[in-house]
């Protein structure tokens, strides 16, 4: 299938590792232009070499207050087709292990910066009557994960925001969706595996195997698996899908509406 995104421009936050990098590479392999945002200068440089003329590296802390202005200056008046809103999550803790400062930090790290960024980009999409906004969150918004109380709580706020935003812009050619990935073999999964080691008193290898065995398909997903779906969601073919929270979890979520 021709995704019809060749030559189109996308922003990918967290493009230097894990699922964000999987999305960036999926778009680049379709010959789309990608402004890849991250803080690992070596990986940014490597991707620029791997995809010359297509990958535009932007070293930036996307959660910082000045990030939206830097991103707008980088776009520099070009048509923007889509944005993947993505950054790392808070530490794995139970409710009683958290301090109120953890909640303040989680609000800033999981919700506030996303509001600021999209409020700055949405006028561009509305002016051109087209755009794809995807929030990369977690399966925990559908089925809570032990020790991720901070992540689950604030990511649910993102889901509510995205649902309402989708309704507000649905007649303007703009779609807004949430991605709810389950277990993928990425660095972000390590914090859960390490927490499992601590709680269950098992080895790293055993904790990893136990996590993979919980997935009905019997293995963790890859960044490539994830990226292939997101590339389609970024394309014109996904025009009838908006306001949804989409699971990519190997069947892990047990609810009927998983």
Q: Tally Cβ neighbours within 10 Å of residue 255.
A: 8
* Same-domain check for residues 42 and 132: yes
How much is the pTM?
0.93
Phi and psi for 47 in degrees, rounded to 5? -70, -35
* Same-domain check for residues 145 and 213: no
3-state secondary structure string across 145-209? CCCEHHHHHHHHHHHHHHHHHHHHHHHHCEEEEEEEECCECCHHHHHHHHHHHHHHCCCHHHHHH
* Same-domain check for residues 77 and 35: yes
* Same-domain check for residues 235 and 112: yes
For residue 169, being part of any structural domain is answered with yes
* Same-domain check for residues 175 and 197: no
Measured between alpha carbons, how far is 199 from 209 in angstroms, rounded to an integer?
A: 15
* Same-domain check for residues 46 and 93: yes
* Same-domain check for residues 20 and 53: yes
81-98 mean pLDDT = 94
**CB–CB of 16/36 below 8 Å?**
yes
241-252 mean pLDDT = 94
* Same-domain check for residues 55 and 144: yes
Domains: count for the chain: 2
For residue 240, being part of any structural domain is answered with yes
Measured between alpha carbons, how far is 50 from 132 in angstroms, rounded to an integer?
A: 25
* Nearest alpha-carbon partner for 178 in 247, 110, 108: 247
* Same-domain check for residues 231 and 216: no
For residue 2, being part of any structural domain is answered with no
The three-class DSSP label of residue 72 is helix
Confidence of residue 51 (pLDDT cuts 50, 70, 90): very high
Token code pair at residue 38: 């991250």
Could you say which DSSP state residue 30 is in? T
Range of the domain at 169: 9-182+222-247
For residue 200, being part of any structural domain is answered with yes
Strand order in the sheet with 245-248: 55-59, 33-38, 9-13, 82-85, 131-136, 174-181, 245-248
pLDDT in tens, 131-140: 999 999 999 9
* Same-domain check for residues 138 and 202: no
237-241 mean pLDDT = 98
Q: Is the pLDDT of residue 54 over 80?
A: yes
Instruction: Find the CATH number of the domain harbouring 16.
Output: 3.40.50.720
**CB–CB of 61/108 below 8 Å?**
no
Q: Is the pLDDT of residue 205 over 80?
A: no
**CA dihedral sign, ordered 133, 21, 192, 251:** positive
* Same-domain check for residues 21 and 76: yes
19-48 mean pLDDT = 98
**CB–CB of 241/177 below 8 Å?**
yes
For residue 257, being part of any structural domain is answered with no
* Nearest alpha-carbon partner for 186 in 136, 254, 245, 117: 136
Q: Is the pLDDT of residue 171 over 70?
A: yes
**CB–CB of 148/127 below 8 Å?**
no
For residue 255, being part of any structural domain is answered with no
Measured between alpha carbons, how far is 206 from 103 in angstroms, rounded to an integer?
A: 31
* Same-domain check for residues 53 and 88: yes
The per-residue pLDDT for 191 is 67
Measured between alpha carbons, how far is 62 from 84 in angstroms, rounded to an integer?
A: 12
> Cβ-count burial of 22 within 10 angstroms (0-12 exposed, 13-18 middle, 19+ buried)?
buried
């Amino acid at each position: 299938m021709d995704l019809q995104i060749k030559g189109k421009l996308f922003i990918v936050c967290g493009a230097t590792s894990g699922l964000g990098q999987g999305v960036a590479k999926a778009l680049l392999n379709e010959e789309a232009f990608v402004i890849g945002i991250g803080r690992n200068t070596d990986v940014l440089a490597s991707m620029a070499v791997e995809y010359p003329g297509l990958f535009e590296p932007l070293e930036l802390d996307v959660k910082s207050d000045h990030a939206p202005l830097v991103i707008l200056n980088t776009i520099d008046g070009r048509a923007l087709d889509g944005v993947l809103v993505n950054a790392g999550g808070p530490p794995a803790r139970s409710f009683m292990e958290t301090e109120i400062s953890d909640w303040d930090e989680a609000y800033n790290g999981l919700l506030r910066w996303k509001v600021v960024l999209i409020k700055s980009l949405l006028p561009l999409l509305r002016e051109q009557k087209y755009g794809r906004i995807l929030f990369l969150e977690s399966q925990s918004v559908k089925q809570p994960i032990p020790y991720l109380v901070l992540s689950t709580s604030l990511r649910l706020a993102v889901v509510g925001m995205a649902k309402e935003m989708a309704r507000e812009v649905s007649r303007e050619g703009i779609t807004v969706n949430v991605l709810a990935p389950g277990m993928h073999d990425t660095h972000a999964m390590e914090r859960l595996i390490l927490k499992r080691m601590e709680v269950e008193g098992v080895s790293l290898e055993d904790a990893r195997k136990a996590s993979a065995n919980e997935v009905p398909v019997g293995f963790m997903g890859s960044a490539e698996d994830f990226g292939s779906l997101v590339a389609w969601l970024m394309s014109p073919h996904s025009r009838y899908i908006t306001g949804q929270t989409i699971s990519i979890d190997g069947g892990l979520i047990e609810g009927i509406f998983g």
